[in-house]
Structure 1
Amino acid sequence: MAPRWLFSILIVNMAISFAAAGSLGPPEPPSKPKCHIPCHDSCGVDIYCHWNHRIDPPTKSSLHWKTADGREQFVDTGASLSGMIGREHFSMNSELQVWVKADNKHGSATSQVAVFDTGDIMKPSPPVISSSPQDPLEISWSSICDEPHLSLGGCDVQFRTQAEKRWHEEEIGAQGSYDFDGLVEAGIVYEIQVRCSCATGLSSDWSAIHRISLETAPTGQIDVWKDCGVPATNLDCAMTWKKLPLSQACGHILGYEVKLFSKHGTSVLMNISAAEPRDRLVCDGPHCYLNSSLKNISSAAISAYNAHGATLPAYITIPTTPGKVTSEHPIDVRMNMANLTVSWNLPSHLPDAKSFKEYVVQYKQAGSPLGKGFDWIRVNKSCTTLTFTGHFEKYRAYQVSLFAVTSNQESRLISSAIGYSCHGIPAKVRSFKVITIAATHATLFWEPAVLTEQNGQILYYQIGVHGQMAVYNVSASHQRENKTFELANLKPNQECQVWIKAVTEAGPGANVTTSFVTKQPEHLVLQSKSHIFAPLLCLLVIMCCLFALYSLHQGSSKTCLCINENVPDPYNSTIFQMLQYQAKQANEALAWISVPIYEAHPTMSTLEIVLTQPPVCEHKCLPEEHTNPAGCTRQRQYGKEQYSKMVDSAEGKDLSGVDDAGSSSEEEQDASGYEQHFMPTAAEILNT
C-alpha cells in the first residue's frame, strides 16, 4: 500500500515540475492585433486594438506603434488583451504600424506587425433590423453609414431556421432592405442577421438576431392557467397565459378574445387589443394576465388572433374551493438563485388517475401580486422531475404546487411545498402566550411569522425557561398552523419566564419571552377552603341555637291563638322549614372538608310548649252560650286525623303523649298540647 502512495506523490511532483519548467522560459508571442476606429452616433477619433494571448500571471503586455515619420511609442496594458492609441499619437490618412509585446522575467515575445491606413479603419456599429407587421417576409435596417458625412458601402445577410446551426450567407450590396419571399416556408421561424460597411472602412459586427415567420392564421392553443395566490385562498384569482411562440403565432398577434362564464350561467365576451389593452391586459416578458377580477367566475376561454385568423379556444376552470395544501404525496423542491428543480413520486393507485391527462407544476413567490412572480410548466403523466430557470431572490419563499389536470382543464391539487433559494436568520414568532396554567405544567401557544417574513425554511422552534438548562425542540412541519406545546416538570407556585425562537439553516432567530406563575396543588386549595368554612360553620350553629331559643321564648309567651280561615300545616311551620334549611346548609358546607357529614333523612321533632293556665281570650275569640266560662272552647273534631298527632319520624310515636293503641279512645282523652294550641274549639265554630 505504501509504494502505491509514494508513486502517486511522485507523479504529482513531476507534473508540477514540468509546469514550472514551461513557465520558466519566455512567453508565447501574442496574435496579430486588429485595430479600428468605432463609429456609433458618429465616428470617434481614437484607435482601439485587441489581440489574443495565453497570459501567465507573471506576464505583462504592451501595445506598440510606429508612425510614417518613424516615431515609435507604446502603452502598457498589463494583463489586458486590448489597448487604445490616442488621436494625438497618429495622423489621419497615414500609414501606421502596430504590434504587441509580451514580457516576463525570463524574456519577451513580439506579435506580427499590422500595417494599415488610419483613414481605412472606420468600423460602423451593427445595423438595427425591423420588419412590417403587414409584410413580415421583408426586413429593413438602419446604419451609421446613412449619416450625411458617410455613405453605405455594402451589406451581407445570413439566415437559418431555429433548428439549424449553419448560416446561409448572401451579399446584397449597398441597400437597406431584403425580401425573403420564396426563401422561407409558412409556419417556420427564421433567424436573420445583417452586417454592413461604409464606403470606406471595415464591416460592422453582425446585428442582433431578428426572427420572422411567413404569416398565416395562428395554430394550436394558448397555454392558459390561473394564479390564486399564496396560499390559494380562492378570494380571487388571476387568469394568466403564455404568449404564443413564433412557430404558432405565424405572424403578428393583434389581440386576444376572452370569454368569462359566471357561476350563474351568464357569460361575458371581451376583445382585448394587444396594441391598446386599456389596462385590461398586462404583459411581462413571455407572460400576460387579465387585469380583471374572477370572483363568481367558474371557467374561461381564450384565443389569440392575427390578421389571418385565430387559435382554437383554450379553456380553464376556476376553483370554487380553496386548494388544501397536503403532505399526503410530498414533492421534493431544490433551489438556488438560478434554478428550481421539482421531483415527485406518486403512487399508481392515485384516485381518478385514469382521467388525468397531464401534470402542471407551478411556483409562486410569496407576497407577489396576482399574475406576477409566477410560472408553470405542463408535463405528461410519465414525467417525475422538471427544472425552472430564472432569477430566484434570496430569503424569499416560493410555494411550489403539483396539479393533476383533466382533458377539460379541470385541475386537482396533489401536493405543495415551500422552497427557498437561500436561507436567512428567521423572524420572531408572533403572539407568544400561555393559554392554560396548572400546578406542574402549562400550555404555550404561538403563531409563526407570516410566510413573507420567515426568511428561510423553519426547521424547528426552541423553547426554554430562564434559569433552566433544558431546551425543547418543537418540529415545524406545518408552518402555517398555530403551535401549542405543554411545558412540564414545573413546581407549584413557581414564577416562570419562558422564551421561544425559530431556527433555520442559517441559525436561530431572536427570542420572544412571556411570564406566568404556576398554581398551588389541589389538596392545598381544599385545605385553605376548609380553614375558611370551619369558622363559618361554627357561626351557623350558634345562630341556629340562638334562633331556636328565641322561638321557644316567643312560643311560651303566647296566651291565645285566634281563629284563622286556613288550618296551619305543621310541615309548613317556620321552625320546621328553618331547621331543614339549616341542615341542608350544614351538609353543603361540610362537603368542602375531608370528612363528609350527610344524613339522607334527618330525624327532627318540633315541641310546642302550651301553658296549663286558663287562656285569656283575645278580641277575636268569641264566647259561646254552652261553654266553659274558664276559657275559650275549641273544636277537636276539625281535622283531627291530620293534625291531632305529631309523629316522630324515627320512633313512630305520638309526640302528644298518646300511643297508637290508644287512638280509639282519643275523644275521651284530654286534648293534646298541639291541638290546644292550634285547633279552634266547638264553641268558637258554633258562634261563628
Structure 2
Amino acid sequence: MAMPMTRWLIPMLVVTLSHCCAAAGPPSPPSRPMCHRPCDEKVCSVIKCTWEPRPDPKIPINYHLQWEPANSEDGHMTSGNSSDGFIHHFPSHGELRVWVQAWNQHGSVNSQDIVFNTEDIIMPPPPTFSSSYQDHLEVHWGTICDELQLTVGTCEVRYRTEEHQDWVWYEDKLCDTYAVSDPQPGTVYEFQVCCACGSSLKSNWSVIHRIRSAESAPVGEVDVWRDCSIHPSRYDCFLTWKNLSISQARGLILGYEVTVFYNNGTVKVVNVSAVEPSTLSVYDEMMWRLTSSLKDVSSVSVSAYNALGSTDATHLVLPAPGEAGNHQPIDLEMQEENLTVSWNSPAQFSDNLKQYVVQFKDCLSGQGFDWIKVDSNKTTALFKGAFKKHTSYQVSLFAVSNNNEVHRLSTATGYSVQGVPSTVLSFQVFSYTDTEAILFWKPFPCSGQNGRILYYQIGVNSQKVYNISGTPHHGNKTFRLQDLNPGQDYEVWIRAVTAAGPGEISTKTFKTLRQKKFADLIPVFVVIGLLLLMISLALILFCVCQGESKVCPQCIYEKVPDPSNSHIFKQMKHQINEPLSWICNSVHEPHPKISMLEVVETKSRAFEPDGLTRLVMKDECSRTDSQEDLREDPAAEECDRTDRRYGRKEYSKMVDSDEEKVDCWSSSEEEQCTSGYEKHFMPSPLEILAD
C-alpha cells in the first residue's frame, strides 16, 4: 500500500528542498556601476556611482559600493542599502577601480568592476544660451570649462519645431554657436545643447531655448468646411475652418477674411480677428466656427492674413439643403482610438474630381465634429482620437469637384463599442381586419442608438417570431401580419437586435374583427336607403321649383313677346314669394316668339243691327294667361289707358299678353276687349271694316 505513494512523494520532496535551498543562497549580482564627477559651478569634489539592483522580495539585500586605486591594494569602502553611492575621498589624479557588493544572511556576491581616471569622469554643468538672432535663426551659449581650468571640448545641439516634436541632432565640432540653415519663416524653434570640457564627459542637456524665426507672408489655403445639423427637421449649416499649420502660417496669423455670397446676388465680407475675442466666431483651439447661419448662402471664401500678407482664398460652393447622396458604399472600422474609412472611386466624378472630404460627428451631442480632406487618387481616411463607447457617430463622404462644388456620396453610422438597443419607439397596431393587422413603429434616431440595428424581431402570442431587416435605418416601418383568426385576441411584441444582443421588448394587444354576416349588413342597407330617399326628395323639390317657373311661360314664349321683361320680373316675384325658391336654379328666358294670330268672325253688339261681323284677334292662351295675371299684376289696371298722340299705349308701358285682365274680353266696349299687344300693333276691327 505504501509503495505507490512513495513513488511520487519522494520526487516532490526533492523538488521542494531544491527550491528551498536555492532561495536560501546569496543574492544575484548587481549590474556594473556607472560613475561621474558632477560639477557644481567650480567644484567637482564628489564621485557619484549608480547601478542596477536585483532585489529579492522575500529576503532583504544590502549593497556596498567599493573602490580602490587601480595600482594599489589599499582601498576604501562606503556601504548602504540604497542604489546610489558617493565617493568623497579619492585622488584628484589617477585611476580607480570600483565595484558593488550585494549580500544577505546567506552570503554575498560582487558585480563586475569598472576602472576610470578621475579626470575623465568630470561632467560639467549644462551650458547656458547667451544670445540668439531671429533673422538667420542663430543661437549662442557658454560653459564653465575655463573656471575648471579645462579646455572647451566639443558640443552637441539638437532642435525641433512646435509642429514637429522629433529632435534634429547636430554634432560637428561645435564650440559656442549654431545657426539653422533655411529655417521655416515665422516658426518657433526649440534648442538644447550639451558640452564636454577637454576629454571629460559631456554635460546633461541644457534647458530648452525657444526662438521664433523671421515672419513672411502665409502660404497655402485655409481648410474650410461646413458643419450641418444631423436632424433634417432643423437642417442648418455653419461655416467652419481649421488653423493654418505653422509651416503655412509663417508668422502670427492676425485674422481671417470671410466673403459670403448669397443666393440673391448680395455679397458680405466678415473680418474675424484671431487675436481679439469677437461675437462673430467661436474658437476651440483647433478650428473656427462662424456664428451666423449659412441659410440662403450659395458659396463662401476664406483667406488668412498676417502682418506681411495673406493666403489665397479658399472657395467653397455649398450644396442645397437636404441634398441626397448617390449611396456610394463606405466601410467603417472603428475602435476607441481610431476610425478608418474606405470606399471605391465613383465613376461619375472620374474626370472632374479635386478631392474627397470625410467627416464624422457625434450623433448624441452633436459635438466631436472633424473632417479630413483626401487626394482624389486615395480611397482611405484615418482619424485618430478618443471615440466614446455605445455612441453612434455619423460618418459622411463627399466629393469636391474642380470648380469646388460639393456632392454628398454616402453616409453611414459607426460605433467604437456597441451596446444592446433600447425599447422600440411608437410601436402600435395601425389597422386590422378579420384576418390581417398592420404593425407600425419608428426606427431609432441617430442619437438614440447604442449599436447598429441588424434586424427587428416580432412575436405573436409567443408562437411565431419574425425577423425584419433593420435597413434602411430611416423612415417609418410597417409589417403586415396575415393568416389571423377572426374575432380573436392577440398579443404582439417587438424588439431590436444589435451585435451586442437583443433589446427590451415592447408589447401591444388587439382583437381582429369578426367575419361579416348578412344580418350585420342590414343597418348598412337601411342607411343607404335613407340616403337614396333623401336624394329623391331633393330632386323632386328641384323639379317642382323648375316646373313652377316654366309651365305658363312656355306658352307665353311660344306666342307673345315680352318686350318689357315682365315675365322675368314675374319669375323673380315668384322666387321671392316661394319659400323654396332658394333651391331653384335660375331660369333663363328663351328668345321670345311672336304669337300666331287668328282672325275670327264674330258678331258685335255694335254692328248686329246691320248684320255686320267683326274680326277678333285672339291668342291661344290669352284667356288663361290673362286670368292669372289679373290676380298677380296690378299693372293690368292701366290696360284702358291710351297714348295721347296715337290713342294707343306706349310700348314701354305695355304689359305682356299674359298680364291682361280676364275682364277685358267680357267688356262691352271694343276698346276694352282687345289686348295691349293688339292695341299697339294691330288695327281694330272697325279699321279693318273701313278698309
Aligned mate of 2:470, from 470, 476, 488: 476
Aligned mate of 1:389, from 380, 384, 393: 384
Amino acid at match of 1:343: S
- Who is 2:270 aligned against? 270
The question of 1:74 aligning with 2:74 is answered no
Deviations 1:106-164 (A, max 9, x none): 997735569999xx9999999999999x86936799xxxxxxxxxxx999632379799
Q: Distance in 1 between matches of 2:265 and 2:34?
A: 74
- Who is 1:323 aligned against? 323
- TM-superposed CA distance for 1:277, in Å, is 3.1
Whether the 8 Å CA contact 2:64–2:77 is kept in 1: the answer is no
Deviations 1:9-31 (A, max 9, x none): xxxxxxxxxxxxxx999978635
Aligned mate of 1:183, from 181, 186, 201: 181
Q: TM-score, normalised by structure 2?
A: 0.56
Deviations 1:459-518 (A, max 9, x none): 1111112432x2111111121222111122322222222211111111111111122111
SS for the counterpart of 1:427 is coil
Whether the 8 Å CA contact 1:229–1:364 is kept in 2: the answer is no
Q: Distance in 2 between matches of 1:254 and 1:100?
A: 64
Whether the 8 Å CA contact 1:156–1:195 is kept in 2: the answer is yes
Deviations 1:195-247 (A, max 9, x none): 56999999445767968554211112112111113256673212222222222
Deviations 1:64-86 (A, max 9, x none): 344998552225xxxxxxx6x6x
- TM-superposed CA distance for 1:287, in Å, is 2.9
- Who is 2:453 aligned against? 458
Q: Distance in 2 between matches of 1:481 and 1:322?
A: 15
Q: Distance in 1 between matches of 2:305 and 2:132?
A: 19
Q: Distance in 1 between matches of 2:470 and 2:188?
A: 53
Percent identity for Structure 1 against Structure 2 = 37
The question of 1:401 aligning with 2:396 is answered yes
- Who is 2:640 aligned against? none
- TM-superposed CA distance for 1:311, in Å, is 0.4
SS for the counterpart of 1:354 is coil
- Who is 2:423 aligned against? 428
Amino acid at match of 1:288: W
The question of 1:447 aligning with 2:442 is answered yes
The question of 1:358 aligning with 2:355 is answered yes
Q: Distance in 2 between matches of 1:440 and 1:252?
A: 76
- TM-superposed CA distance for 1:445, in Å, is 1.0
CA distance 1:130–1:533, shift in 2 (3 Å): farther
Whether the 8 Å CA contact 1:224–1:240 is kept in 2: the answer is yes
Deviations 1:162-201 (A, max 9, x none): 7998522479889xxx884x73345596864315699999
The question of 1:282 aligning with 2:289 is answered no
Whether the 8 Å CA contact 2:186–2:252 is kept in 1: the answer is no
- Who is 1:310 aligned against? 310
- Who is 2:545 aligned against? none
Amino acid at match of 1:360: V
Q: TM-score, normalised by structure 1?
A: 0.56
Deviations 1:606-649 (A, max 9, x none): xxxxxxxxxxxxxxxxxxxxxxxxxxxxxxxxxxxxxxxxxxxx
SS for the counterpart of 2:351 is helix
Amino acid at match of 1:355: N
- Who is 1:522 aligned against? 516
CA distance 1:457–1:467, shift in 2 (3 Å): closer
Q: Distance in 1 between matches of 2:315 and 2:103?
A: 67
Deviations 1:353-404 (A, max 9, x none): 43332222222221344xx412222223332223222222222212222211
CA distance 1:326–1:125, shift in 2 (3 Å): farther
Q: Distance in 2 between matches of 1:256 and 1:294?
A: 17
CA distance 1:324–1:292, shift in 2 (3 Å): same
Q: Distance in 2 between matches of 1:500 and 1:140?
A: 76
- TM-superposed CA distance for 1:275, in Å, is 1.6
Q: Distance in 2 between matches of 1:437 and 1:125?
A: 88
SS for the counterpart of 2:456 is strand
CA distance 1:164–1:391, shift in 2 (3 Å): closer
SS for the counterpart of 2:192 is strand
Q: Distance in 2 between matches of 1:127 and 1:461?
A: 71
Q: Distance in 2 between matches of 1:129 and 1:498?
A: 83
- Who is 1:168 aligned against? 170
- Whichever of the two has the greater Rg, that structure is 2
Amino acid at match of 1:256: Y
CA distance 1:184–1:432, shift in 2 (3 Å): same
The question of 1:507 aligning with 2:501 is answered yes
Whether the 8 Å CA contact 1:428–1:449 is kept in 2: the answer is no
Q: Distance in 1 between matches of 2:289 and 2:132?
A: 27
CA distance 1:501–1:124, shift in 2 (3 Å): farther
Q: Distance in 1 between matches of 2:424 and 2:333?
A: 26
- Who is 1:485 aligned against? 479
Aligned mate of 1:495, from 480, 489, 497: 489
Query: Which deviates further from its counterpart, 482-491 or 28-37?
Result: 28-37
CA distance 1:254–1:48, shift in 2 (3 Å): farther
Q: Unaligned stretches of 5+ in structure 2? A: 1-21, 41-47, 68-75, 91-95, 142-152, 531-547, 552-665, 667-691
Alpha-carbon RMSD across the aligned residues, in angstroms, is 5.2
Q: How does 1:570-649 map to 2 (within 5 A)?
A: none
Question: Size of the alignment, in residue pairs?
Answer: 469
Q: Unaligned stretches of 5+ in structure 1? A: 1-22, 40-46, 76-82, 142-152, 541-565, 570-685
- Who is 1:415 aligned against? 410
